[in-house]
Structures are given as structure tokens and as C-alpha cells.
Amino acid sequence: MELPDRELITATVARALAEDRATEDITAQLTVAGHTGAANFVARRDGVICGLPCVAEVYRQLGGVTLTPCVADGDRVSAGTVLAAARGDLVALLAGERTALNFLTHLSGIATLTAQFVAAVQGTAAGIYDTRKTIPGLRQLAKYAVRCGGGRNHRMDLAALALVKDNHAAACGSPAAAAAAVKPRLAPGVLLQVEIDALADLEPVIAAGADLVLLDNMTPAQVRAAVAAARGRVELEVSGGVNLATVRAYAAAGAQRISIGALTHSAPQLDCALDFA
């Protein structure tokens, strides 16, 4: 699994440690200064693991602790699995505990939820995609977690793809008008995606040069009709109102992409803990 940029991980972890004032842990300094020990990061629930490089970076920056991973990001684990073994200075080990677990539980939660959606559409042609609905400053890590769960990244940022959404269409008069304004001025190789919420807009946006069409808040029946009307001329993406109970129906309707904001904005944390040996 390709990691986010190493410098980004370093900077993100440094900000998290500074936020927690980890080098000023009053309690640890007054209880365990001068002591060493061993502890394990353990999964308390079944899930898909993500974030171990961040845990390692926490203790690299704090120093005095050796971390030995026992699994890898992207691995499926069961409750009770030891994820990594830590040994060393107890002040550093405890000072970094919460920051390390914050990364591990949040990113593993995203990976686990993504894997559930991927499993729900198994056997269809649909891919599960994320969105830009991420916690500011954590986007690259969140999208990495989606990949660890078997999902795919939509666009990383606003420069990665031209995406005409409802407000662009409203400003220009219609989705097709906005697409027609954008398409001729795109740099070579940059794709154009257009969001529509009515089937009547499908043919006009295809004629305007859309490469991908995002079907917003449509029913599976409407998606099936759009697939038939598009006749393979554009790639179709479903977004809005998709959950684990409905995603299979959307995939069966023939959409090639299903994007789900909940992967990164609403994934429950995967319960993990630091248990002393």
C-alpha cells in the first residue's frame, strides 16, 4: 500500500504531539520517570488496520521507545490481535499513547468501514470511492486509509479534476452550460465530471463533453435508466444517500463508481488500546 508523503506524516504527527504537549506529560513524569517497560497495541474489535506508520512516527519523534509492528496496514485482524509491540522509556511510551491511538483508531475505522462497503458490492463492476469530506489537515491520511480498506480515491484536491457541481451549474444556468464553459479550456489530460440530479440533464452534459457524470441522490431505478441512456459513452458515478443497506442495489444498477462521504466523515473508530505486558 503506497504511503502518503513521508514529510507529510512527519509534520502531521509533530502537530499532534505539540497539540497534546506530549513532552510535558505531568503525570508520567511524576510516576514513571526513569523506568522502562513493555506494552502492546491491541485491537479490541475485528477490523482493518491502518495508521501504524503514524504510531511509529509518534515514538520516533518522542524517542526512547522501540516499536515493532506485528501486522501491516491493510491487514484484517480479529479482536485481541497484537498490532505492535512497544518497549522502552515509560514516560515517552505513556506521553505518546493517546496521540498514537488517535491516529490508529481513526484511520483503522475508515479502513474498516471502507472494507465493509467493498465487500457489499463484491462481484459487481462498481468501485467504492471516497470524497473530499475529510478532517482538514488529514486528507492524505484519510484517503490512504480508504485504499487500505480496498476503496479508491476520487480527487485529492480541487486541481485534480474539473467537477461541475450544483452551484457551478446554478451560476451558469444549467449543468450543460457549465460543462460547455469548462471543457474547451481544460488542460490536456484533465477530465471533466458533471453532477446532475435529473435524468433530463444526462444527454446535454454528454453532448457538452463530460467524461464522467455524477448522479446525485438518484434511486437505483433512476441509475439503471441512466446507465441504459448513457450507452457506455461516459462513466457514471452514484453519490448521495448511499449506505450499507442500499449500496448493493446501486452497484447492481450498473454504476461504475459509488462515492460515499461517510467513509471519511462518519466512520466509527476501531477500538484499539495500549496494554502493558
For the annotated catalytic residues, the residue numbers are 98, 133, 165, 195, 216
* AA identity, residue 18: A
Which of 117-128 are b and which e, b meaning 16 or more Cβ less than 10 Å from the residue's Cβ?
A: bbebbeebebbb
Indicate left, alpha or beta for 150 from its phi (over 0: left) and psi (-120 to 50: alpha): left
Beta strands in 168-220 (DSSP E): 192-196, 212-216
Whether 21 and 68 have beta carbons less than 8 Å apart is answered as no
Whether 139 and 257 have beta carbons less than 8 Å apart is answered as no
Strands 257-259 and 235-239: parallel
| 3 state DSSP class of 146 | helix
Element (H, E) at 42: strand 36-43
Task: Give which of 65, 71, 56 is closest to 13, Cα–Cα.
Answer: 56
Which of 65-86 are b and which e, b meaning 16 or more Cβ less than 10 Å from the residue's Cβ?
A: bebebbbebbbebeeebebbeb
What gap in Å lies between CA 55 and CA 97, rounded to an integer?
Answer: 9
What gap in Å lies between CA 93 and CA 96, rounded to an integer?
Answer: 6
